[in-house]
Structure 1
Amino acid sequence: MDHQYFNVCRMIDKYNVISFDIYDTALLRNVLDPTDIFDLVSKSLEKENIKLINFKKMRIDAEEIARRVSLNEDVTHEEIFEIISKKIGRDLAEIVKQKELALERQFTIANPFIKKVYNYARSKKKRIIFISDMYLSDIFITNLLKENGYEGFEKVYISGIVGKSKAMVSLFHHIKEDMQIVTPWLHIGDNLKSDYENAKKSGIDAFYYQRHTVRNKLSKKLSLERSIIKAIQLNKSETEKTNYWEEFGITTVSSIFFGFTMWLAERIKNKNNVYFLSRDGYLPFLIYQKVFPYIQGLPKPKYLFASRRAYQIPNLLNMSKSEALEILTTFNIDLGQNLSLGEIFENLNLEHSKYLELIRNFGFPDFNYVLKTKRDVSNAKELLDRIFPDIKSNLEKELEILKIYLKENGIYDQSEVNVVDIGWRGSTQKAIMDITNIPTIGYYLGTTYNVYEDIIDKVNGYAFNLGKPNRNKKRIMDNVMMYELIFSASHGTLIGFNFENERISPVLSESENDAVNNCLSYIHNGILKITDEYLKYFDYIKTISMEDCLEDYFNFIEEKRYEDLAEFSKLRNVVGIGKSEIKQNYVSEVTIKEYLINKQQINQQISKNLWKNALIIKGSISDLHLLKKYRRTTINLINADLKRKIIKAIRNPKKVLYFIRRKVKSYYFIRN
């Protein structure tokens, strides 16, 4: 962004006259397709009990007819609605026309990047004009520019008013004559033909400002709600300086949180309470606070410190001993989890030194021993059974403090408790209900088929509930840690509570994962920033579908683009309950030689990565002869990538120079 800014500013220095295209350059619409405005007109009219059947088609057809019968190179808004008035009557046509203008105004924003360029041109005392191939009037566009902070320009030229267009080149010639321009002139615009090539044909120098939809290759037709949200995302991320993680938050995962919050709000409206459980409820809590003023009847939110360790472990007292021992020795092999004897004892606050001799009697050499076999698990259960009185004593103390904490937060004052978390099995919800004997309802991103039986009718899942639909469940649970990452708070995990001086305070783990916390800070900042923009269009996007909200992250995870893998390869995270310190990779990196020698072992390893099967294979050109049967696949991938970069290089040679130099030195191969 800075590089592009300095380039265009250097060009501005050489010219006396600077002209700007308007839409998709100086001004942006918060819809991806201009015709989406017509859909908005229909929806807005319906709220006023005015129903026009297929207005969008009527509006598009009317514009086409107006162009066919016009003797000029472009048409005006008035001419278009003159044709519409013949179908629906003049009075109604006037109402619809004003509605369209109002929505154009509401969905138009300034482009911060071009505004910065514009301000630079003004500071250099340049003559500034605006030019557009557009049907809206010059008066309307002039006011729109001023409303969005563009002041001090000389004139606005609109093709529909002048009757000449950039597309036919004649508008440039008309402006030269009208303004008697004889000095050097630079035009800045987003249309390769009209703004760049045709300006050049007219003897005007030009700067091609590439549109967001072109840069992001968005060609698929989207729902109206998603069109608005994607436009807001791109207009923010593409025109303001952000780092990788903030942009990731804005463009890739923010819609999940907005959609989840809208879904949640509908279900807890008019309820008495809602508790967001730490850590995975932290960001939903912040977004709910932003949404709260927009929806009547929502309960005020509270953030409740909670974790499986701090709630489920004390709640073992409400289970049979066999159930308790099962939970204490369970770990998820599919996620690559390990469980050492030391972790079990630490989660139960049992001093190692007191039991060292006893654990050896059960076949464990020390507390670092990791449970590997069914026999290990069986021995661990027998060991824990032997010392269960000690375990019970510790748990009774913890449970008493936990009850005080829940009472302080008003849980015992409720006839029904509503909790929000990322989900899966509902263990913390069950613990709250078991401990308080108060019906507790859970609201989650998703719940699996093995939800605890006594809460199976009290769970609600946004993306999937009780494992259905299976397609969503599989896509999320196959990469469950990718979702746990984006829902995580940057503060430590709750381990338990201290009770000192008649006060309860949460005990959080000391996080040493600076890389993850740093990225979470940027992700949250991006999500919260873009949520403020979403809320400006709340009435238009509040019904966005769950499928629309999930699609970006689904695609992100499945595509495994190199630039994303490279950033995630810098992260490692903990998988486990309580005081676990075992960290795992999101993405693995190996050399070509390593992959060829240990292919099977590496494939097994990466299937347990926190981003499943995410792998970067690196190597120099001298390594390519080792590829053997993989050679063709690798070279094809490399060549395809180079081809894309070379195409970009034609438009911007300097931008791709670094990439080509790097490619000459080393290649990469991404395994999906």
Structure 2
Amino acid sequence: FGVDMEVSEEEDLLFPHPFGMLIYKIAKKLGLKTIAISDMYLSSEQIKKILIKNGFYLDHVFSSSDWRKEDIGKYNGKSFVKVCRELNVFPEEIIHFGDNIQSDFINANEKGVASIHLPSAMEELMQDDRINPTVKSALKNMDTLESSLLLGNLSRRLKEGYFGVGYNVARAFGYIQGGLTAVAFLSFMEEEALANGKKALFCLTRDGFTIKQAAEIFGTSIDFRVIWSSRRMCLVPLLAKNAFWVLPSLFPYRSGVLRLSEELKRLHLALPEDVEDFESDNYHDFLKYLESMGSKWREIIGSEANSYRDYLRSEMDQYEDEDIALVDVGWGLTSHKAIDQLLGSCLSGFYLGTHDKAYNNDRIKNLFFSYGEPKKICTALMSAVEILELIFSDASPSAVRVSRSKFGFEPEFEKRDSSDLSRDIFVREVRAGMLDFLKDIAPYRSILKADALKDAAEAVCIALIENPTAQEYSFLGNIPHVREVGKSQFYPISYWWNPQSNADQEEIEKSLEVESLVEEKHLSQESKLDFVAEGAKNIQRSWHNRIARSILTPIFGHSRINKLSDFVYDRN
């Protein structure tokens, strides 16, 4: 029974090596006999069945399992002698192709059979320097069914030319990191949802569109639904309730003068005529004024708060609170907190992770890390959360609010600009790679384990974040990203993502020399400003980002450097 199961799995999992198939077809056209010689415990008949399923109709198939009692195999070279006798040919009349350097090449040659080493698809994958070596090593060292399936599918896709002649970094990132993270997240949610009696999972847009599509392809027994949501949509209604904890998220720090009318316009709100257009270059004074507006916020927000609350209820009220959960990427969970407060509920939630200051309730579950723990994993992944967010990004416009109409509730969308459209190009490639991985892995979902998938996804994401190749960092690091709520400026992902491996050793040593100079010679203010001018130019260059910061941080500290970068970006 066990052997029959294995043969069945081999028939599904194995695929023909493209070059091996080419050799086979050429041999057939030349009228040559084709044979297979295998060192394996499956019989020649079982192997023949698998070969036929993959398009190889050979004249003879030999397996060492048929000669086990005689101790004949390729591993000791005796198979080649046995085959020559069986077919009544001389060794020099045979040319042998194989992927094992000892059994197929050295042993064959020693027995007089000309042999050509044909690297396996897996060997070619491990030797291809375009695929991140740290990622490959992490998966190979795990040695699990789940990691083997990823490597096997990756080697097949690479052999098929799926990633293109020039190597499509976005597509590869989507397939490897994106695909494995999506599978791990879906498996984790399904396991938790079934264990806790959840009937429906509500995915918050825009990432929710990608998560739901991934669930449909992978196939789950849980009902995934999408609800309109954005941080702006969730947080703005709470101003009408004077829940001022939302102010730092809606009105983030920015250098220069802050003007109320401009900040409201960014959030798609209008300043009433009887409200002062307050302005200040002191961020804390500005926030204090916003709090002092009190009941005026109800006038500014209008019916938006009630509309969004009623919309959420219309989507969720067919279930008890205990039967549903919110789904999103994660980190601070301000949207989850806002929805809980709007509905007067305490909803469950599934996320990739939450940092140590995130909103918390005992119904929230996380895949990678929870409220900053394990610290090592949280620190590694949070050092480039933009990379994880890229996995589930969607190219649709962001929703601003929902309004009532005769058709029910209708969303109003953020107008797309050139930065959005530029980012969309990359997002579509990443998403395509991720969904293709799901299609490849879906047939084996019944044998995959959620914990093993989580470990594999965690390993490949950390490997990329901490040790990207130069090509990965240059490409992914330049994808536009925006962190703030509402219309704001985009920065390249490399603005936040600064792995040590991206700066070459010579530049690192130069930066250390500068740091030493700053410490030892106590530079004048004028000299410091010279360093600032040079560093400010480099801050926006993805490759030199780390070097610029290493020059400036000892002088001014992390907080001031971030403000300086904002200022330089604004001026540019």
Q: TM-score, normalised by structure 2?
A: 0.74
C-alpha contact (below 8 Å) 1:229/1:255 kept by paired residues: no
1:265 to partner: Cα distance: 1.0
The reply to whether residue 264 of structure 1 matches residue 173 of structure 2 is: no
The reply to whether residue 191 of structure 1 matches residue 100 of structure 2 is: yes
Aligned to 2:565: none
1:541 to partner: Cα distance: 1.3
Which amino acid in the other structure matches residue 402 of structure 1?
A: Y
Aligned to 1:444: 351
Aligned runs of 1:390-429 on 2, under 5 Å? 391-408=297-314, 410-416=315-321, 417-429=324-336
After alignment, is 525-534 or 205-214 more displaced? Answer: 205-214
C-alpha contact (below 8 Å) 1:479/1:610 kept by paired residues: no
1:307 to partner: Cα distance: 0.8
The reply to whether residue 204 of structure 1 matches residue 111 of structure 2 is: no
Q: TM-score, normalised by structure 1?
A: 0.64
Counterpart of 1:348 (choices 257, 267, 270) is 267
Aligned runs of 1:634-645 on 2, under 5 Å? none
Whole-angstrom distance in 1 between the partners of 2:155 and 2:507: 43
1:559 to partner: Cα distance: 1.4
Whole-angstrom distance in 1 between the partners of 2:277 and 2:461: 49
Whole-angstrom distance in 1 between the partners of 2:380 and 2:431: 23
Which amino acid in the other structure matches residue 252 of structure 2?
A: T
Aligned to 1:307: 230
Whole-angstrom distance in 1 between the partners of 2:541 and 2:311: 33
Aligned to 2:158: 238
Assess, with a 3 A threshold, how the Cα gap between structure 1 residues 594 and 559 changes in structure 2: closer, same or farther: closer
Aligned to 1:328: 250
Whole-angstrom distance in 2 between the partners of 1:189 and 1:614: 47
1:584 to partner: Cα distance: 3.0
C-alpha contact (below 8 Å) 1:226/1:544 kept by paired residues: no
Count, aligned residues: 496
1:581 to partner: Cα distance: 2.5
Assess, with a 3 A threshold, how the Cα gap between structure 1 residues 187 and 451 changes in structure 2: closer, same or farther: same
String of CA shifts for 1:335-376, please: whole Å, max 9, x gaps: xx99965762224324589799944xx346xxxxxxxxxxx2
C-alpha contact (below 8 Å) 1:317/1:392 kept by paired residues: yes
Aligned to 1:147: 53
Aligned to 1:229: 149
Assess, with a 3 A threshold, how the Cα gap between structure 1 residues 330 and 568 changes in structure 2: closer, same or farther: same
Whole-angstrom distance in 2 between the partners of 1:508 and 1:435: 21
Whole-angstrom distance in 1 between the partners of 2:37 and 2:484: 60
String of CA shifts for 1:132-165, please: whole Å, max 9, x gaps: 2223211110011112332x32222323435644
Aligned runs of 1:605-616 on 2, under 5 Å? none
Whole-angstrom distance in 2 between the partners of 1:520 and 1:119: 40
Whole-angstrom distance in 1 between the partners of 2:399 and 2:121: 46
C-alpha contact (below 8 Å) 1:232/1:533 kept by paired residues: no
Assess, with a 3 A threshold, how the Cα gap between structure 1 residues 404 and 526 changes in structure 2: closer, same or farther: same
Which amino acid in the other structure matches residue 307 of structure 1?
A: S
The reply to whether residue 273 of structure 1 matches residue 211 of structure 2 is: no
Assess, with a 3 A threshold, how the Cα gap between structure 1 residues 230 and 502 changes in structure 2: closer, same or farther: closer
Whole-angstrom distance in 2 between the partners of 1:99 and 1:582: 53
Aligned to 2:393: 488
Give the 3-state SS of the residue equivalent to 1:330 in structure 2.
coil
1:303 to partner: Cα distance: 1.0
Aligned runs of 1:383-532 on 2, under 5 Å? 383-384=289-290, 391-408=297-314, 410-416=315-321, 417-452=324-359, 455-500=360-405, 502-509=407-414, 510=416, 512=418, 513-532=420-439
Which amino acid in the other structure matches residue 318 of structure 2?
A: D
Whole-angstrom distance in 2 between the partners of 1:141 and 1:183: 26
Assess, with a 3 A threshold, how the Cα gap between structure 1 residues 554 and 203 changes in structure 2: closer, same or farther: same
C-alpha contact (below 8 Å) 1:253/1:552 kept by paired residues: no
Counterpart of 1:129 (choices 35, 51, 70) is 35
Which amino acid in the other structure matches residue 352 of structure 2?
A: L
1:610 to partner: Cα distance: 12
Whole-angstrom distance in 1 between the partners of 2:91 and 2:81: 12
Aligned to 1:534: 441
Whole-angstrom distance in 2 between the partners of 1:251 and 1:383: 48
C-alpha contact (below 8 Å) 2:372/2:378 kept by paired residues: yes
Which amino acid in the other structure matches residue 139 of structure 1?
A: E
Whole-angstrom distance in 2 between the partners of 1:465 and 1:613: 33
Give the 3-state SS of the residue equivalent to 1:238 in structure 2.
helix
For structure 1, the residue ranges without an aligned partner over 5 or more in a row are: 1-94, 365-375, 618-672
Whole-angstrom distance in 2 between the partners of 1:101 and 1:511: 54
For structure 2, the residue ranges without an aligned partner over 5 or more in a row are: 127-135, 164-168, 516-530, 549-572
Pairwise CA RMSD: 4.1
C-alpha contact (below 8 Å) 1:137/1:158 kept by paired residues: yes
The reply to whether residue 551 of structure 1 matches residue 459 of structure 2 is: yes
String of CA shifts for 1:410-458, please: whole Å, max 9, x gaps: 2233321410111122211222222222432111111223233xx5223
Aligned runs of 1:513-662 on 2, under 5 Å? 513-545=420-452, 546-586=454-494, 596=510
Which amino acid in the other structure matches residue 160 of structure 2?
A: E
1:460 to partner: Cα distance: 1.6
The percent identity for this pair of structures is 19
